[in-house]
Amino acid sequence: MKLVTCVVRPERLHAVKGALFEVGVTGMTLTRVSGHGGEQEIVEHYRGSALVLEFRDKVKIEMAVSEPFVEATIQAILRSARTGEVGDGKIFVQQLERVVRIRTGERDTDALTPVTADEVQARHSEYEMWRAE
């Protein structure tokens, strides 16, 4: 089991979430964050004063995935978050020692959402059709 954490541009969130659903990753935690990587500082003018914007708004997504989903998760994030510009973000993969589902007491891989990729893809397709209406 791994904890996959990615930090991406906020405008790429919808695409990343969709790509993760397509590969069968549905459980995730989302946090709005600010950070600084390789981007240049931006100087904006507000009411006659120059403001230096050192930190950029980002979105951090965390997912606990079983071993067979790790590479698919990474590829889905790369495919959907990449713009080719500095500031696209990072992916961090960490070993998870233990996972426990509070509601049932299930542990480790059994505690991760037991939904097949086919079911997730079907639900995602239904959602996209509903959104298009």
Considering the four listed CATH numbers 3.50.50.60, 3.40.50.2000, 3.30.70.120, 3.40.50.1000, the one that applies to the domain covering 2-126 is 3.30.70.120
What residues are paired with 114 via a beta bridge? none
Question: Average per-residue pLDDT in the chain?
Answer: 86
Residue 20, both tokens: 């993760």
Give the mean pLDDT of 33-48: 78
pLDDT of res. 125: 67
Look at residue 109 and tell me whether its pLDDT is greater than 80. Answer: yes
**pLDDT-based confidence at residue 78 (cuts at 50, 70, 90):** very high
pTM beyond 0.85, yes or no: no
Higher pLDDT pick, 43 / 24: 24
Q: 3-class DSSP state for residue 16?
A: helix
